Amino acid sequence: MKRVVVFTGAGVSADSGLATFRDSDGLWAQYRIEDVCTPEALQRNRALVVEFYNKRRKELFSVEPNAAHRAIAELERYFDVDVVTQNVDNLHERAGSKRVTHLHGELMKLRSERNPELIVDIDGWEQTLDARAEDGALLRPHIVFFGESVPMFDRATQIAAEADLMIVVGTSLAVYPAAMLVRYARSGVPVYVVDPGNPDTAMIRNPLTHIKARAAEGMPELLKKLVSELSE
Ligand code: APR
Protein backbone atom coordinates (compact mmCIF):
# COMPACT_ATOMS: atom_id res chain seq x y z
CA MET A 1 0.00 0.00 0.00
CA LYS A 2 1.24 3.49 -0.85
CA ARG A 3 2.37 5.43 2.21
CA VAL A 4 0.72 8.83 2.57
CA VAL A 5 1.61 11.50 5.13
CA VAL A 6 -0.99 14.19 5.77
CA PHE A 7 0.55 17.25 7.41
CA THR A 8 -2.11 19.54 8.89
CA GLY A 9 -2.46 22.89 10.60
CA ALA A 10 -5.25 25.00 12.05
CA GLY A 11 -6.90 25.47 8.64
CA VAL A 12 -8.09 21.86 8.57
CA SER A 13 -10.18 22.61 11.68
CA ALA A 14 -11.37 26.02 10.48
CA ASP A 15 -14.40 24.44 8.79
CA SER A 16 -15.34 22.93 12.15
CA GLY A 17 -15.52 26.46 13.55
CA LEU A 18 -12.16 26.55 15.36
CA ALA A 19 -10.10 29.71 14.89
CA THR A 20 -6.77 29.55 13.09
CA PHE A 21 -3.80 31.52 14.40
CA ARG A 22 -2.68 33.92 11.68
CA ASP A 23 -5.85 34.63 9.72
CA SER A 24 -7.25 38.11 10.35
CA ASP A 25 -9.70 36.65 12.91
CA GLY A 26 -7.11 34.23 14.26
CA LEU A 27 -6.12 33.57 17.87
CA TRP A 28 -2.97 35.66 17.59
CA ALA A 29 -5.15 38.62 16.62
CA GLN A 30 -6.98 38.23 19.94
CA TYR A 31 -4.14 37.21 22.27
CA ARG A 32 -0.42 37.98 22.49
CA ILE A 33 1.69 34.84 22.14
CA GLU A 34 3.93 36.05 24.95
CA ASP A 35 0.91 36.21 27.29
CA VAL A 36 -0.46 32.70 26.73
CA CYS A 37 1.98 30.49 24.81
CA THR A 38 5.45 30.77 26.39
CA PRO A 39 7.06 29.13 29.47
CA GLU A 40 7.56 32.63 30.91
CA ALA A 41 3.84 33.37 30.59
CA LEU A 42 3.04 30.19 32.55
CA GLN A 43 5.36 31.30 35.36
CA ARG A 44 4.33 34.95 35.26
CA ASN A 45 0.60 34.64 34.74
CA ARG A 46 -0.48 31.04 35.23
CA ALA A 47 -4.18 31.89 35.58
CA LEU A 48 -4.35 33.56 32.14
CA VAL A 49 -2.54 30.65 30.45
CA VAL A 50 -4.74 28.02 32.14
CA GLU A 51 -7.84 30.06 31.23
CA PHE A 52 -6.73 30.38 27.57
CA TYR A 53 -6.42 26.60 27.20
CA ASN A 54 -9.58 25.95 29.24
CA LYS A 55 -11.52 28.17 26.81
CA ARG A 56 -10.09 26.34 23.76
CA ARG A 57 -10.70 22.97 25.39
CA LYS A 58 -14.30 23.91 26.28
CA GLU A 59 -14.89 25.00 22.66
CA LEU A 60 -13.57 21.65 21.45
CA PHE A 61 -16.55 19.94 23.14
CA SER A 62 -18.93 22.05 21.05
CA VAL A 63 -17.47 21.33 17.58
CA GLU A 64 -17.33 18.29 15.31
CA PRO A 65 -14.82 16.99 12.78
CA ASN A 66 -15.55 18.36 9.30
CA ALA A 67 -15.52 16.82 5.81
CA ALA A 68 -11.76 17.36 5.59
CA HIS A 69 -11.04 15.34 8.74
CA ARG A 70 -13.40 12.66 7.47
CA ALA A 71 -11.78 12.53 4.03
CA ILE A 72 -8.35 12.24 5.66
CA ALA A 73 -9.63 9.36 7.80
CA GLU A 74 -11.16 7.71 4.73
CA LEU A 75 -7.76 7.78 2.97
CA GLU A 76 -6.88 4.88 5.30
CA ARG A 77 -9.16 2.59 3.30
CA TYR A 78 -6.83 2.97 0.32
CA PHE A 79 -3.44 3.98 1.66
CA ASP A 80 -1.09 3.48 4.60
CA VAL A 81 -1.71 6.86 6.26
CA ASP A 82 0.05 8.84 8.94
CA VAL A 83 -1.36 12.18 10.06
CA VAL A 84 1.22 14.63 11.41
CA THR A 85 -0.60 17.61 12.85
CA GLN A 86 0.39 20.92 14.42
CA ASN A 87 -3.12 21.06 15.87
CA VAL A 88 -3.80 20.35 19.51
CA ASP A 89 -7.45 19.50 18.92
CA ASN A 90 -8.62 15.87 18.75
CA LEU A 91 -10.70 16.19 15.58
CA HIS A 92 -8.51 13.88 13.47
CA GLU A 93 -8.93 11.13 16.06
CA ARG A 94 -12.67 11.80 16.39
CA ALA A 95 -13.01 11.55 12.59
CA GLY A 96 -11.39 8.10 12.75
CA SER A 97 -7.73 8.68 11.84
CA LYS A 98 -5.75 5.91 13.52
CA ARG A 99 -2.16 7.18 13.44
CA VAL A 100 -1.94 10.85 14.50
CA THR A 101 1.31 12.48 15.61
CA HIS A 102 0.80 15.79 17.43
CA LEU A 103 3.85 18.05 17.01
CA HIS A 104 2.59 20.82 19.32
CA GLY A 105 0.85 18.79 22.02
CA GLU A 106 -2.77 17.96 22.80
CA LEU A 107 -5.51 20.04 24.45
CA MET A 108 -7.02 16.95 26.10
CA LYS A 109 -3.81 16.18 27.99
CA LEU A 110 -1.99 17.84 30.91
CA ARG A 111 1.50 17.17 32.23
CA SER A 112 3.61 17.67 35.32
CA GLU A 113 5.45 21.00 35.34
CA ARG A 114 8.43 19.10 36.71
CA ASN A 115 8.45 15.91 34.62
CA PRO A 116 7.41 16.34 30.94
CA GLU A 117 7.04 12.56 30.65
CA LEU A 118 4.30 12.54 33.29
CA ILE A 119 1.32 13.13 30.98
CA VAL A 120 -2.32 12.62 31.99
CA ASP A 121 -5.65 12.79 30.16
CA ILE A 122 -7.92 15.55 31.38
CA ASP A 123 -11.53 14.75 32.27
CA GLY A 124 -13.83 17.39 30.80
CA TRP A 125 -12.61 20.81 29.76
CA GLU A 126 -11.50 22.51 32.94
CA GLN A 127 -8.02 22.40 34.42
CA THR A 128 -8.21 23.85 37.93
CA LEU A 129 -5.35 26.13 38.90
CA ASP A 130 -4.16 23.99 41.79
CA ALA A 131 -4.43 20.58 40.09
CA ARG A 132 -1.28 18.57 40.73
CA ALA A 133 0.38 15.54 39.10
CA GLU A 134 1.32 12.35 40.96
CA ASP A 135 4.82 13.74 41.47
CA GLY A 136 3.33 16.60 43.45
CA ALA A 137 4.17 19.26 40.87
CA LEU A 138 1.50 21.51 39.43
CA LEU A 139 -0.06 20.34 36.17
CA ARG A 140 0.23 22.40 32.98
CA PRO A 141 -1.33 22.13 29.52
CA HIS A 142 0.45 19.44 27.45
CA ILE A 143 1.17 22.04 24.76
CA VAL A 144 4.48 22.94 23.12
CA PHE A 145 4.90 26.64 23.91
CA PHE A 146 7.00 28.91 21.73
CA GLY A 147 10.63 28.48 22.68
CA GLU A 148 10.12 24.89 23.86
CA SER A 149 11.47 21.82 22.09
CA VAL A 150 9.27 19.81 19.70
CA PRO A 151 9.99 16.24 20.86
CA MET A 152 7.82 14.57 18.19
CA PHE A 153 9.56 16.33 15.28
CA ASP A 154 12.20 13.59 14.78
CA ARG A 155 9.48 10.93 14.58
CA ALA A 156 7.58 13.13 12.11
CA THR A 157 10.63 13.52 9.86
CA GLN A 158 11.00 9.71 9.71
CA ILE A 159 7.35 9.42 8.72
CA ALA A 160 7.78 12.09 6.02
CA ALA A 161 10.95 10.43 4.69
CA GLU A 162 9.04 7.15 4.13
CA ALA A 163 6.05 8.74 2.40
CA ASP A 164 5.21 8.11 -1.25
CA LEU A 165 2.86 11.11 -1.23
CA MET A 166 2.52 14.17 1.02
CA ILE A 167 -0.65 16.20 1.57
CA VAL A 168 -0.34 19.55 3.36
CA VAL A 169 -3.67 20.93 4.63
CA GLY A 170 -4.40 24.25 6.31
CA THR A 171 -1.01 25.41 7.52
CA SER A 172 0.72 28.70 6.78
CA LEU A 173 4.08 26.86 7.03
CA ALA A 174 5.19 29.81 9.17
CA VAL A 175 6.35 28.01 12.31
CA TYR A 176 9.59 26.05 12.68
CA PRO A 177 10.70 23.36 12.98
CA ALA A 178 7.23 22.04 12.00
CA ALA A 179 7.23 23.78 8.59
CA MET A 180 10.51 22.03 7.72
CA LEU A 181 8.62 18.75 7.50
CA VAL A 182 7.92 19.38 3.82
CA ARG A 183 11.68 19.20 3.19
CA TYR A 184 11.84 15.58 4.45
CA ALA A 185 9.77 14.10 1.64
CA ARG A 186 12.09 12.20 -0.70
CA SER A 187 12.77 14.04 -3.96
CA GLY A 188 10.15 13.29 -6.58
CA VAL A 189 7.44 12.51 -4.02
CA PRO A 190 4.37 14.53 -5.06
CA VAL A 191 3.16 17.19 -2.61
CA TYR A 192 -0.44 18.44 -2.61
CA VAL A 193 -1.31 21.62 -0.70
CA VAL A 194 -4.98 22.22 0.20
CA ASP A 195 -5.43 25.81 1.33
CA PRO A 196 -7.59 28.76 0.12
CA GLY A 197 -4.72 31.09 1.01
CA ASN A 198 -1.06 31.21 0.11
CA PRO A 199 1.08 29.26 2.56
CA ASP A 200 4.85 29.65 2.31
CA THR A 201 5.59 26.84 -0.16
CA ALA A 202 8.88 28.34 -1.34
CA MET A 203 10.96 25.67 0.36
CA ILE A 204 9.03 22.81 -1.20
CA ARG A 205 11.33 21.28 -3.85
CA ASN A 206 8.99 18.45 -4.79
CA PRO A 207 6.38 18.35 -7.57
CA LEU A 208 3.72 20.63 -6.04
CA THR A 209 -0.02 20.87 -6.70
CA HIS A 210 -1.85 23.66 -4.82
CA ILE A 211 -5.59 23.01 -4.51
CA LYS A 212 -6.79 26.52 -3.69
CA ALA A 213 -9.89 25.60 -1.68
CA ARG A 214 -11.17 25.30 1.85
CA ALA A 215 -10.19 21.95 3.32
CA ALA A 216 -13.82 20.82 3.66
CA GLU A 217 -14.16 21.07 -0.14
CA GLY A 218 -10.60 20.46 -1.31
CA MET A 219 -9.84 17.36 0.75
CA PRO A 220 -12.88 15.29 -0.38
CA GLU A 221 -12.03 16.28 -3.98
CA LEU A 222 -8.41 15.21 -3.52
CA LEU A 223 -9.52 11.90 -1.95
CA LYS A 224 -11.70 11.21 -4.99
CA LYS A 225 -8.83 12.03 -7.36
CA LEU A 226 -6.30 9.86 -5.54
CA VAL A 227 -8.70 6.92 -5.34
CA SER A 228 -9.63 7.18 -9.03
CA GLU A 229 -5.91 7.19 -9.93
CA LEU A 230 -5.57 3.89 -8.05
CA SER A 231 -7.87 2.12 -10.50
CA GLU A 232 -6.10 3.55 -13.57
N1 APR B 1 -9.33 25.30 4.87
C2 APR B 1 -8.00 25.13 4.65
N3 APR B 1 -7.05 26.02 5.03
C4 APR B 1 -7.48 27.12 5.65
C5 APR B 1 -8.84 27.39 5.91
C6 APR B 1 -9.79 26.40 5.49
N7 APR B 1 -11.09 26.58 5.70
N8 APR B 1 -8.92 28.60 6.54
C9 APR B 1 -7.66 29.06 6.67
N10 APR B 1 -6.79 28.19 6.12
C11 APR B 1 -5.33 28.26 6.03
C12 APR B 1 -4.75 29.65 5.99
O13 APR B 1 -4.74 30.13 4.65
C14 APR B 1 -3.34 29.38 6.52
O15 APR B 1 -2.48 28.97 5.47
O16 APR B 1 -4.82 27.66 7.20
C17 APR B 1 -3.55 28.23 7.50
C18 APR B 1 -3.57 28.68 8.94
O19 APR B 1 -2.28 29.12 9.26
P20 APR B 1 -1.96 29.45 10.80
O21 APR B 1 -3.11 30.24 11.35
O22 APR B 1 -0.58 30.00 10.83
O23 APR B 1 -2.01 28.04 11.52
P24 APR B 1 -0.86 26.96 11.57
O25 APR B 1 -0.09 26.92 10.29
O26 APR B 1 -1.49 25.69 12.02
O27 APR B 1 0.10 27.52 12.75
C28 APR B 1 1.21 26.70 13.09
O29 APR B 1 1.66 28.17 14.95
O30 APR B 1 0.92 29.40 16.72
C31 APR B 1 1.49 28.21 16.36
O32 APR B 1 1.38 26.24 17.59
C33 APR B 1 0.63 27.06 16.75
O34 APR B 1 0.37 24.94 15.63
C35 APR B 1 0.34 26.35 15.45
C36 APR B 1 1.47 26.82 14.55
Q: Is the pLDDT of residue 73 over 90?
A: yes
- C-alpha 133 to ligand 1 mean position (Å): 32
Cis peptide bond prior to 39, omega within 30° of 0: no
**Which residue is closest in CA terms to ligand 1's atom 32?**
104
Instruction: Tell me the average pLDDT of the chain.
Output: 97
Residue 212's pLDDT is 98
Q: pTM for this structure?
A: 0.98
196 lines ligand 1 (CB under 6 A): yes
Q: Which of 170, 195, 1 is nearest to 99 (CA)?
A: 1
Residue 70's pLDDT is 99
Q: What percent of the chain has pLDDT over 90?
A: 99
Long-range contacts of residues 129-138, Cβ cutoff 8 Å, at least 24 apart: 129/46, 129/47, 129/50, 137/112, 137/113, 138/46, 138/112, 138/113
Q: Which residues contact 62 (CB under 8 A, 6 or more apart)?
A: none
Residue 232's pLDDT is 83
Burial 145-168 (b: 16+ CB within 10 A, else e): beeeebebbeebbebbeebbbbbb
Q: Which of 143, 137, 145, 136 is nearest to 54 (CA)?
A: 143
Mean pLDDT to the nearest integer, 139-146: 98
pLDDT digits (tens, 9 = 90+) for 196-221: 999 999 999 999 999 999 999 999 99
Q: Is the pLDDT of residue 231 over 90?
A: no
Q: Which helix (H) or strand (E) holds 111?
A: strand 105-112
Residue 103's pLDDT is 98
Q: Exactly one of 69, 92, 104, 142 is catalytic; name it.
A: 104
Q: Is the pLDDT of residue 50 over 90?
A: yes
8 lines ligand 1 (CB under 6 A): no
Is residue 210 part of the annotated active site? The answer reads: no
pLDDT digits (tens, 9 = 90+) for 170-181: 999 999 999 999
Q: Give 169's Cβ-side CA count (13 Å radius).
A: 29
